[in-house]
Amino acid sequence: MGAGIVTGLLAGLFGIGGGAVVVPVLFEVFRILGVPEAVRMQLCIGTSMAIIVPTAVRSYQTHRAKGLVIPGVLRSWTLPAVAGVAVGSVTAAFAPPGVFELAFVVIAGIIAGKFLAGREDWVLTHRLGFVIGLASSLMGISGGSLGTMVLTLCGKPLHNAVATSAGIGVPITIAGTLGYVLAGLPHHAALPPLSVGFVSVIGVALIAPISSYVAPFGARLAHALPRRWLEIAFGSFLLITSARFLAALVTRSFD
């Protein structure tokens, strides 16, 4: 429930779904419950995707009401992002847990560096919907953090980037949830009770309602903060979460 509050605030504040918080929390819970390591990370990511769906919807609606969403980007990214999610979901059925943790460390580290540097002259093409969808499905996030990075690298103001990224998170999380449900069906025997594929119904029921309720408060806070404060907070948040997964990778290598 505590994770649900933090997830909702992060969803609204940064235009992300909060998967970077949910995945580590679920990972520890499923470890205590004895979920096999071979399917534990996939179950965390699938459950995170399902939890993020209502949170992403509420966050996007709040940002759209402020008039800061960029419709053209949203339209051009949706289908490629969903295609990327589909590829990532198929990968999830066969890839070892370290793939997901390494993806998070590398991508989140790059994003954090960009925001902490505060450089305005780092420019990139915006046609990266497929990559955002693929990376999101491997990291268990809504794609908001990746979308925010790409849009700011394209020269879009951070507040517009956050709002638009919240919108792209909606189709990504819906497609990701369905993909992980299907990918986990062959592994049903190794999963805990009340799991539908790689989605834990219990996890969704405990976290999703709270995070969805809190998300609009984070969105209002985002529009009230100065841009540079938001960049520093966002970059620091990503560094902390990527360090957690890096620690897991190092621990596994020594084991």
Contact 149, 179 (CB under 8 A): no
Strand pairing class (199-200; 195-196) = antiparallel
Percent of the chain with pLDDT over 70: 83
pLDDT, position 43: 92
**Which is higher by pLDDT, 121 or 109?**
109
Measured CA to CA, the distance from residue 110 to residue 101 in angstroms comes to: 14
pLDDT, position 17: 59
DSSP state letters, 17-43: --HHHHHHHHHHHHHHTT--HHHHHHH
pLDDT, position 89: 82
Q: Indicate the burial class of 154 (C-beta count within 10 angstroms; 0-12, 13-18, 19 or more).
A: middle
pLDDT, position 199: 95
Contact 181, 197 (CB under 8 A): yes
Contact 157, 227 (CB under 8 A): yes
pLDDT, position 233: 77
Average of per-residue pLDDT across 154-183: 84
pLDDT, position 195: 94
CA dist 219 to 61, 66, 205, Å?
10, 10, 23
Average of per-residue pLDDT across 237-250: 76
- What is the residue-averaged pLDDT of the chain? 78
Q: Which of 53-57, 170-174, 223-227 has the highest mean pLDDT?
A: 170-174
pLDDT, position 142: 64
Give how far the C-alpha of residue 47 lies from the chain's centroid of Cα atoms, to the nearest Å: 11
Average of per-residue pLDDT across 230-242: 76
pLDDT, position 254: 64
Q: Which band of pLDDT confidence, cut at 50, 70 and 90, is reported for residue 120?
A: low
Tokens of 84: 């990327």
Per the listing, tokens 């290598």 go with: 253
